[in-house]
Structure 1
Amino acid sequence: MGSRVEGNPLGNVTIVSITSYQYLMVIPGYEAGIDYVNARFPNLHFQHELIFQKSIYSCDVLADISVNFAAEFYYRRKWSASDLVIFSAPMCSGELLQLAPITGYWNVPVVSIVGTSPTISNRKKYPTALTTAPLNNSVLANFFKAFLSHFAWTTLCLICDNNDVVAYYKANCGIIKTELKRPKFDIQTVTVDSKKGRDLVDYDAALVTAGKSARVIIILARSNVTRQFMIFAHKKNMTQGDYVFFYVEPHTKSNLPEFPNLDWRTGDLDDEVARVALTLLIVITFDNGPSIDQLPSKTAAFIKNRTASQYNITVPPEQKV
């Protein structure tokens, strides 16, 4: 089961999305695509199954039980030889790596639009796993490996935000530590958590620890937290050229809610300090801003309306989809 039978027409295609609550807003995009395919290709029949629990907000938590959800769904159904099941969702790396072995055993595709891992391309180990993530964490880690090696910067400190609301930075922290290994690289990690608020982070303590361990500091946190780190670094005289600071911006000028643009000007009393401090920050980004929000206006409206009517989530007019 799970693959097309040679010579037979394709029957029902079931897209199964197991998702954490933080990514629920992505699901109407799947539904819009399925409606489009069903209307355009009457010989195909796509349907969508959504599995989520509101209490499971982050993909880190979902990773531990995603296989249970998948197995419960898969084994409770009776499938015909012409049916095709595809597990596809905005899975983080942990979820993808948890589901890949069992979906491979079933010979069923599993597709993530978020999760990445350097091992997921191993076709012997994960024969049916695929990621379409535009922000490839492995590519980012390999960039840092090559860039830092070029300048012989092998001792570095990662300031990692453990805020699971935006798991992107948490995932990048993990993969950079995995890819930049000893004995060539010596990596220290300082962990903060901005989940309770930007102003509750102990920036001074984090910078003191980072400054004692390395001259190269990579900040893996949202833009508002990064701005505060650079303000505090400037006040501690760490922006005089003795330290090199990096920041990862996943989208170029997208202003997505999860990834607001980094800007020195916010209207607070530290604007001038931020303006100076951010000139010492090296920003690493994927040049994918122009590819965002290229959907036809009718499709974008459908997604926003469905998000409101089916999931009771209002999409702000300025938000890209």
Structure 2
Amino acid sequence: MCEQNKGAIAGKSFFHVSLFFPCIVMLLDYGLLCQGANKTLQIVWMVPLQEHPKEIFRYNASSSIAALAYGIETVKNESILPEYDLNLTVLDTNCSSKQGIGVLVDLLMVQDIDVVIGPPCPGVVEPVGELMSYRNVPVINWVSLQQTIQTKDSLTTYIRTMTPVYTLGELMTKFLQDTGWKNYIIVREINKEYDALAEILESTLGSFNEIGFRVTQVHKLHEPTESGDDIDATLNSIKHEGRIVFLVIDQSNLRNVMLRAHKLNMTNGDYQFLYTYGRTATMHKLEKYFMNYRMWRRDDEFDEIARQAFENVLLWQY
């Protein structure tokens, strides 16, 4: 390795034996991490080595190792940092702020850090960002649902490469101002992921009360059932509450909801349904799942009804 003593420390405190470890060994064998130059750039990758069941987006090392390897290989092949060796240390955060800060401080006691990549878990981002801000070390991240990370007042060295989810509410509000719509209903699934997005939308709309925006009701859908009684009860209530409906639900349940709405005569143009996937989507994902018949077509006897029902759905995505 680049530096034997630091490698020994990493082996003791920071590397966990898993399927991820052979990937790092392979990278080292190919010389992607250690380029044999004069200076050493100390890179720390903070990531859970195992999937964490309590997190909304279950990122772990296996979901990002290919991108990391590609980035390192690009640095090497294009001579982006020709005067540096790249020394990579992996810290297993276990999606825990306690463990994340613990292993990071342990490492800081034995070596300097030039840049931190990650961590993906929301609960770990803020304490790591504050510590690295204090030490003036950049933290490059690609995702976090945590709404508190909206400003850089305390996270002065924090860099995010993907749009945070909370901006969806701001973009939505700008669009709604041009429609003239004022009263809104939110239908949300009882699920941690959709709870977070629904709260963002409700909070953002509520912040524009002075121009007339109002959330008249928030309905919570339980687990989908074959009978659809919960959906029917919600839709029947909406008939007396408003006409503009945000559907903060799973994509797999969207067709079912719109079929039930059609059955209750709510897809004749009197009601407008707005749906968002709730995550940043690539153009490939948009084209594959949203910009064609895949949203409504299942090759069954309900396809034509679903197609008509989806004419009342606006997809809001970023």
Is contact 1:198-1:225 (8 Å) kept?
Answer: no
TM-score of the superposed pair, with normalisation by structure 1: 0.67
The one of 173, 182, 189 aligned to 1:145 = 173
Gap change, CA 1:100 and 1:278, over 3 Å in 2: same
What does the per-residue CA deviation read over 1:106-151, in whole Å, with 9 as the maximum and x for residues that have no partner? 44433331225676352322212222115x4343212221222223
Match of 1:307 in 2: none
- Other-structure match for 2:260: 232
Pick from 59, 68, 82: which aligns with 1:23?
A: 59
Residue in structure 1 matched with residue 153 of structure 2 by the alignment: 124
Q: CA deviation at 1:37?
A: 5.2
Bigger Rg, which one? 2
Q: State the match for 1:171 in structure 2.
A: 196
- Return closer, same or farther for 1:158/1:52 CA change in 2, 3 Å cut-off: same
**Is the contact made by 1:90 and 1:112 (CA closer than 8 Å) also made in structure 2?**
yes
Q: 8 Å contact 2:126–2:149 — kept in the other structure?
A: yes
What amino acid is the match of 1:45?
Answer: L
Cα-Cα RMSD: 3.3
- Count of aligned pairs between the two proteins: 259
1:49 matches 2:90: yes
* Distance in 1 (alpha carbons) for counterparts of 2:202 and 2:40: 44
Q: Report matched runs for 1:70-89 at 5 Å.
A: 70-79=100-109, 82-89=112-119
Contact 2:45 2:89 in 1 (8 A): yes
1:208 to 207, 226, 236: 236
Contact 1:12 1:47 in 2 (8 A): yes
Change (3 A) 1:38 1:282: closer
Pick from 217, 220, 243 the counterpart of residue 271 of structure 2. 243
Once the two structures are TM-superposed, the CA of residue 244 in structure 1 deviates from its matched residue by: 1.0
Shift of 1:279: 1.0
CA–CA distance in structure 1, aligned partners of residues 87 and 258 of structure 2 = 49
Amino acid at match of 1:104: S
* Paired residues of 1:90 and 1:114 also in contact (CA < 8 A): yes
Question: Could you tell which deviates more after superposition, 268-277 or 75-84?
Answer: 75-84
1:182-218 Cα shifts (integer Å, max 9, x gaps): 5343223222355xx6758732133234443321101
Kept in 2: contact 1:15–1:46 (CA 8 A): no
| Amino acid of the structure 1 residue aligned with 2:47 | S
Is 2:222 the counterpart of 1:181? Answer: no
Structure 2 residue runs without a partner (length 5+)? 1-37, 53-57
Q: Gaps (5+ residues) in structure 1?
A: 1-7, 54-61, 287-321
**C-alpha contact (below 8 Å) 1:38/1:46 kept by paired residues:** no
Equivalent in the alignment of 2:8: none
25-34 or 69-78, which deviates more: 25-34
Q: What percentage of residue pairs aligned between the two structures are identical? A: 22
TM-score normalised over the length of structure 2: 0.68
> Paired residue for 1:5?
none
Name the CA shift for 1:220/1:46 in 2 (closer, same or farther; >3 Å): farther
Contact 1:16 1:85 (8 Å CA) reproduced: no
Listed one character per residue, the Cα deviations across residues 231-270 of structure 1 (whole Å, up to 9, x for unaligned) are 11111111122211011145366349xx944521112332
